Structure 1
Amino acid sequence: MNKLVFILLLLLLINISFARKRSYIKNTDTSIVVTQFGAIKGIVEDTHRVFYGVPFAQPPVNQLRWENPIDLKPWENVRETLTQKSQCAQKCNLGPGVCSPMGTSEDSLYQDIFTPKDARPNSKYPVIVYIPGGAFSVGSGFLYLFMMLLNLLHSSVIVVNINYRLGVLGLMGTDLMHGNYGFLDQIKALEWVYNNIGFLGGNKEMITIWGESAGAFSVSAHLTSTYSRQYFNAAISSSSPLTVGLKDKTTARGNANRFATNVGCNIEDLTCLRGKSMDEILDGPRKIGLTFGYKILDAFTIWSPVIDGDIIPMQTLTDSKGRSKHMMFQHYWKCKHEAIPFIYSFSKIVVGIDYYRVLVAIVFPLNAMKILPLYPAAPRGQDSRPILSELITDYLFRCPDRYHTVTNAKKLSSPTYHYHYVHVKSTGHSLDACDDKVCHGTELSLFFNSYELMGERLDNDEKELAIDINNYIVNLQLLINPNTGLDVPVQWRQVTCTQNSTLILETTIETKVSFTNDPKCNALDLTYYRNQVRP
């Protein structure tokens, strides 16, 4: 008994000593924050603090490749978080200035955190967790480093950029593997933020998840998953290609089988698969996209989260129940031009009238005769890629966005907001087909005030538009109301079951009812978006 008492007293003294050390660290050096796993040291700038490369899970390497993310092991010494880490393993094809100069690695489950300079454990700042896009195969938090400027401009929001396993390393599903490792990485990052953001001055009850493209697709998937829902209370979805859909188990296993064959392994031989180098793994999927036949849309995202009935129970368009009472949604689509980069990448030569009709028949095997009159091919001898781009924009983005937004507004008691970005930037576009157009991703430099970092010389009206957009976003984080707080030019009205209001983002911002009666979307709704929804 005496020995037991001695041990308990010794443990108590150790805990008291650590607590004193912890309190001393927090109170004397604002660059150091003590999390539940250990202390991290960041950089204190004039207006903000930044903590680069903060880990949220153990490195998913060796025997942890294709395993669920594992909790961190606590560390004793102060861990420096002064530089960004490598982006997740990928063959980055996003171009100079977008692919991370830090290189790639399987050891990549890190996040970058930006806080106001004066943030303290009792500050209760709202938090944005940004999920990067890139077709679930490329991209990283580095691409959204400029989100820091949102925080710099207003000094009132904490921003977290996360990374997650991509491609075959994060989303390969077989009979033995659920295929949602990258999605679980996102959830593990959200869990870390929920449990630790208070130490950095954040409010865990005011966490917004936000994504663009595949990141937006991820946001929609989180809204269906009971694994995710406890860690956030609001969501922003930007340019989500909802019709592409999540992979069913059969499709996921077929992709995995072709990949395993390419690298010389049996589909269920994890020892063989884990024995391959990162480069061998990344080279394996090269030819998979050419074997899809009539499921041509699946080639846009060969690897994506899988409907396993547990982690992800359903397609994102199927159901909208069970959301937090303060949930808010904002979706946007961008006129007729969202899909231009994808179509012109898919076909680098002119699409003639006959080939166009074949493509429409492949994508809409049961509805082609109803679709073609609404999206007629260009005259013989001319290029049908522009009308194909309009059709795919409507089918992947605009019309399912309308369906999803209206469905949410009818089913949910929480506020729903919708915006439509239509401004053509004065700087032009690197893709000729996107000149004088609003293509996928072209708005990001305005949304995040990164145009100077991107080398864009915007005019004064465009700079004012960027400020207005940021003001709406910050107001949403602070008060769950985009119209209260920082100055905004017009009232952004909610979408309701009777009023389909949209905020039109142009240099002169306005609101209008813009998508209630739309013959093209009415027709595409009847395709049931690849049988994801039913009347």
Structure 2
Amino acid sequence: VVTVVINYRLGSFGFMASKSMQGNYGFMDQRLALEWTNKNIAGFGGNPAEITIAGQSAGGMSVGAHMASPKSKGLFSKGIMESNPLALPFHSRDTATENADAVAEYLGCADDDVACMRTKSMDEVLEAQDKAPTLNLDNLFINFLPWSPLVEADGEIPEQPLTALQRGEITQVPMLGGSMRDEGQLFVYELFTKPMSEKAYHATIMGVFGKDAYPQLIHKYPYDVVEGSTDGRQALNVIATDLLFYCPLRNVTRSYQNALGTKALPTYIYRFTHVISFDCWGPDYEFCVGWVCHGSELPFVFHVFDDGVSLYYEPTADELELTENLANYWSNFLTNGDPNKGLKTPAQFPLYLGTRDTILELNQPGTQTETHFRDSYCDVWDKMGYFY
């Protein structure tokens, strides 16, 4: 496997858009890197006909965006989406312009005065991008992505990736994707820094989702949905994990397969449930100790426990075996489009079919398949919709 790691413009430098700024510069950087790779990878021993794009978190969102972008068609043959929060919407031109105008005002410039903003230093712009964007009350979840890609009918990304995936209007390639057991933990505990009472939890559900959704959500996700919990943040973790990560992935895969029928290419979905034994979170993320937080799979996927690579981690024998298993699944998919063909793996990675909803639980010991996982919860979100 030949690995290509790219850089692209981030934040306001990559995704600021307004009436006079096109936006999506970071996304176009990514596509230019894909074009370069297609043109040159043979010189490094690679095969331009077998390019897999892969990413985690924002990188996973990028993979979904390239699948939804007609301009990226033909530049890759497989996709890996790790922890893609598919239910976080990309920006419209209006939302992006509001953020750009807020940055301009913070910098002492008139709205959409690009020439004025270009006179400011990089540090000034970075400070403005962090402090200036306004709170969007029409869609609270959009505030998690103040600098996201832009969706426009005639633009780089013509519609929300979730919508494009649902309809099958995408670059059709084999796909491997999944999420962590506790994806929401990191985001919820960063947002709510103190334990949450039952009263505050109910008020939060009402405030975020509204009175019509409130009864059904409180029924499915009571304050003590995590057995023995006396902190509403743990219930919010479960909601965020379902709503933003697992359930929309289930939804788009089902919808994609229904839309394309026998033409749908293979999809494999996993759930990573291993609680890391060593301290890798640091003082800022102590709330992830004992949980399977966003990013927990990365040390295992990237094989950081090899001699001479990891100086600080002390994995158990089971964890060394788990990293070997994940590396083999991923390598098999990269080379064959099937995580089961090639290197030895501990269990069959099931082909995802919406009729059975069978996924692979990645843990050690205990990698195993799960069928109809969280169906009753995801059915609620499918009915209610995802873009809050």
TM over 0.5: yes
Structure 1 equivalent of residue 237 of structure 2: 389
Identify the residue that residue 218 of structure 2 maps to in structure 1.
Answer: 372
Q: Which residue of 2 aligns with 1:68?
A: none
- The answer (yes or no) to whether the contact 1:472–1:483 under 8 Å persists in 2 is yes
Q: Counterpart of 1:399?
A: 247
Task: Pick the structure with more strand per residue.
Answer: 1
**Which structure ranks higher in relative contact order (CA pairs < 8 Å, sequence separation ≥ 6)?**
2
Q: Does the 8 Å CA contact 2:223/2:232 hold for their aligned counterparts?
A: yes
Contact 1:174 1:267 (8 Å CA) reproduced: no
Say whether the 8 Å CA contact 1:402–1:515 is kept in structure 2.
no
Q: Describe the SS at the equivalent of 1:330.
A: strand
Secondary structure at the aligned position of 1:484 is classed as coil
1:316 to 121, 138, 161: 161
Are 2:267 and 1:416 aligned? yes
Letter in 2 for 1:373: H
3-state DSSP class of the match of 2:71? coil
One-letter code aligned to 1:477: L
Change (3 A) 1:530 1:436: same
Of 178, 187, 199, the residue aligned with 2:31 is 187
By how many angstroms is 1:445 displaced? 0.3
CA distance in 2, matches of 1:416, 1:313: 23
Q: Which residue of 2 aligns with 1:463?
A: 320
Distance 1:293 1:348, change over 3 A: same
1:432 pairs, out of 279, 286, 293, with 286
The answer to whether the aligner puts 1:223 opposite 2:74 as a matched pair is no
- Answer yes or no: is the 8 Å Cα contact 1:294–1:363 preserved in 2: no
Q: Report the Cα offset of residue 372 of structure 1.
A: 1.5
| 1:503 maps to 2:360 | yes
For residue 107 of structure 2, what is the aligned residue in structure 1? 263
> Are positions 1:441 and 2:289 aligned together?
no
Q: Whole-Å Cα distance in 1 between the matches of residues 119 and 133 of structure 2?
A: 24
> Is the 1:173–1:179 Cα contact (8 Å) retained in structure 2?
yes
Deviations 1:432-486 (A, max 9, x none): 3222210000110011011453621111111111111111111112222221211
Q: Is the 8 A contact 1:504 1:512 kept in 2?
A: yes
Shift of the 290–349 alpha-carbon distance from structure 1 to 2, 3 Å rule, reads: farther
Q: Structure 1 residue 350: deviation in Å?
A: 2.1
- Corresponding residue number in structure 2 for 1:341: 186
- Alpha-carbon offset, residue 382 of structure 1: 4.4
Higher helix share: 2
**Retained in 1: the 8 A contact 2:70–2:170?**
no
SS at match of 1:170: helix
Look up the SS of the partner of 1:442 in the other structure.
coil
Shift of 1:289: 5.2
Aligned runs of 1:106-125 on 2, under 5 Å? none
Could you say which residue in structure 2 is the equivalent of 1:145?
none
Contact preservation (8 Å) 1:409, 1:495: no
Q: CA deviation at 1:217?
A: 0.6
Match of 1:177 in 2: 21
Task: Kindly indicate whether the alpha-carbon contact (under 8 Å) linking 2:83 and 2:178 is maintained by their aligned counterparts in 1.
Answer: yes
Distance 1:330 1:425 in 2: 23
Does 2:216 align with 1:359?
no
Kindly state the Cα deviation for residue 378 of structure 1 after the two structures are TM-superposed: 5.2
- What's the counterpart of residue 477 of structure 1? 334
How much has 1:245 moved relative to structure 2? 1.3
AA at the equivalent of 1:407 = S
When structure 1 is superposed on structure 2, of 513-522 and 299-308 the one drifting more is 513-522
Larger deviation, residues 340-349 vs 399-408: 399-408
Aligned length in residues: 372
1:277 is displaced (CA, Å) by 0.7
- Following superposition, the deviation at residue 407 of structure 1 comes to 2.3
Partner letter of residue 476 of structure 1? F
Aligned to 1:169, what secondary structure does the other structure show?
helix
Residue number in structure 1 paired with 2:349: 492
Kindly provide the CA deviation profile for residues 152-203 of structure 1, in whole angstroms up to 9, marking residues without a partner as x.
xxxxx00011111111111111122232111101001111101111111110
In 2, Cα distance between the equivalents of 1:514 and 1:177? 47
**Which residue in the other structure is 2:78 paired with?**
234
Please give the alpha-carbon distance, in whole angstroms, between the structure 2 residues aligned to 1:440 and 1:347. Answer: 17
Query: In the alignment, what sits opposite 2:145?
Result: 301
Q: How much does 1:389 deviate?
A: 1.3
Q: Which amino acid aligns with 1:233?
A: S
C-alpha displacement of 1:357: 2.3
Please list the CA deviations of residues 406-436 of structure 1 after superposition, one character each: whole Å capped at 9, or x if unmatched.
2233335211111111111111443332222
**Any conservation in 1 of the 2:180–2:296 contact (CA below 8 Å)?**
no
Partner SS for 1:204: coil
- AA aligned to 1:334 is M
Question: Separation in 2 of the partners of 1:178 and 1:479?
Answer: 38
Aligned to 1:159, the other structure's residue is in SS state coil
Cα drift, residue 517 of structure 1 = 6.0
Partner of 1:528: 385
The residue matched to 1:197 in structure 2 has which SS?
Answer: helix
**Identity level (%):** 34
1:317 maps to amino acid:
L
Q: Aligned with 1:237: secondary structure? A: strand
Matched letter for residue 186 of structure 1: Q
Higher deviation after alignment, 400-409 or 419-428: 400-409
2:42 to 189, 198, 207: 198
**Deviation of 1:269 (Å):** 1.6
Q: Which SS does the other structure have where 1:230 is aligned?
A: coil
CA distance in structure 2 between the partners assigned to 1:461 and 1:270 by the alignment: 55
Kindly provide the amino acid, as one letter, of the partner of residue 523 in structure 1. Answer: V
Deviation at 1:403, TM superposition (A): 0.8
Stretch deviating more after TM superposition (506-515 or 183-192): 506-515
Please state how far the C-alpha of 1:489 moved relative to its aligned partner: 1.7
Distance 1:519-1:500 versus aligned 2 partners, 3 A rule: closer
Counterpart pick for 1:251 among 79, 92, 95: 95
RMSD, aligned α-carbons? 2.1
- Is 1:165 aligned to residue 9 of structure 2? yes
Q: Point out the more displaced range, 337-346 or 265-274.
A: 265-274
Letter in 1 for 2:81: S
- Structure 1 window deviating more from structure 2 (517-526 vs 183-192): it is 517-526
Residue 54 (structure 1) aligns with: none
Aligned-partner Cα distance in 2 for 1:472–1:278: 42
1:33 aligns with none
Question: Residues 22-37 of structure 1: matches in 2 within 5 Å?
Answer: none
